[in-house]
Structure 1
């Protein structure tokens, strides 16, 4: 599925690049979608990639939990409301799939050391977009805001814990987000690649039933952080 997703995204990006090159080297380049940003409400969709991580804080000094991130994928919708000439309000609900592998160096048995944390998030970000002055068919921007996410793979309601190979997280998480991107105005649509950092505001770890658990007893907090690379089409 990831290969199919990557192929579709690559095809869209290459097509966009071809349109940009055609416009840039034309004898009489023209302004595409000249009145696009004057619309009060616009819609679109995005595809992209993510890399999630965890930030751990500990109760005592000892070996850290090692986190190995993998590349996941994102897909979602965009609703954009123009507030002022250079400020927009955006709602970007989407589905985010990722996996993080945790290694606990204190433990010796292979079955106890590794925990695969697979997460499927339904992500609900509310963002402010601050755009610069448009130059030709290019317009850079900054993004910032807050979000909440439902983790469909949290295992929050399961009574089993790490003693039966179940790593548990809270079902809902809250984040703040900051990022930047650029709007590229093409002949028929607007293409916007962006990079965004996402940082959790609360502890997401559900402790094991045993207060002396070797997996969770020394962890003071565990917070998600991640990087999103999205390609938006409007």
Structure 2
């Protein structure tokens, strides 16, 4: 997740420096007069989870540690934007998101001995985000913006109905519906034939996704909430 954050900041910083360079002709001079714009997005994500442990977690002496490890994925989506004026707009971005998350468990197995398990939570989401976008005036062929909003998510790869029987194959089950809030910012670049956007966004789930089960992997957990860092590239005509 840190790598994507650093890459995103570097891209936005270098873009800002580039946009302040030598004189350039105005591209797409009438672009902002349109009320509607459509396009598509490509993105990369780093997915993780917030882990809330049960209050008696410390007393479960067979479980020595539990943590999560973020995983990389990608996103494909459509952009539909309605502009209230040149500085404020609302966007609907139905997206297909491929996200994986990993939980790492370490159990006590005897003197000087431990057993480790890696439990992967694989997800293919259909996302329905709605964002409010607050943009600066154009600086020749660029403009900077902040955004905030929320999304409803459906996991098409949920394994909530799988039977857990063998320890090595036991799954940490999660619900197939999620709600999340999101916030971030970016830069719009007006190119000769289309508007190209680069944005960095954090998506934080507000729903407990955990499906409780009487397994050694679910018992220590109170809740799991999704967390995703996105860097997206938008193309609008």
- 2:48 maps to 1:53: yes
- 2:119 maps to 1:115: yes
- Taking structure 2 as the reference length, the TM-score comes to 0.81
SS in 2 for 1:65: strand
* 2:130 equivalent in structure 1: 126
* 1:233 equivalent in structure 2: 235
Q: Which structure carries more relative contact order (alpha carbon 8 Å, separation 6+)?
A: 2
CA distance in 2, matches of 1:181, 1:230: 9
The alpha-carbon distance between structure 1 residues 86 and 129, as it changes in their structure 2 partners (threshold 3 A), is same
- 2:220 maps to 1:218: yes
Let me know the Cα RMSD of the aligned residues.
Answer: 2.4
* 2:98 equivalent in structure 1: 97
Instruction: Write 1 or 2 for the structure with the bigger share of strand.
Output: 2
* 2:38 equivalent in structure 1: 43
- Taking structure 1 as the reference length, the TM-score comes to 0.82
The alpha-carbon distance between structure 1 residues 162 and 115, as it changes in their structure 2 partners (threshold 3 A), is farther
Structure 2 gap ranges (5+): 1-10, 59-63
SS in 1 for 2:32: helix
* 2:176 equivalent in structure 1: 171
SS in 2 for 1:136: coil
Q: Which digits, 9 at most, give the CA deviation of each residue in 1:170-207, with x for residues without a partner?
A: 01000000010000000111000000000001100111
TM-superposed deviation, 1:66? 1.7
Structure 1 gap ranges (5+): 1-12
CA distance in 2, matches of 1:230, 1:162: 39
* 1:6 equivalent in structure 2: none
- 2:151 maps to 1:147: yes
TM-superposed deviation, 1:107? 5.7
TM-superposed deviation, 1:152? 1.3
CA distance in 1, matches of 2:141, 2:95: 27
* 2:67 equivalent in structure 1: 66
Q: Please tell me whether the aligned partners of residues 78 and 94 of structure 2 are also in contact (alpha carbons under 8 angstroms).
A: yes
* 1:137 equivalent in structure 2: 141
Q: Please tell me whether the aligned partners of residues 123 and 156 of structure 2 are also in contact (alpha carbons under 8 angstroms).
A: yes
CA distance in 2, matches of 1:179, 1:38: 25
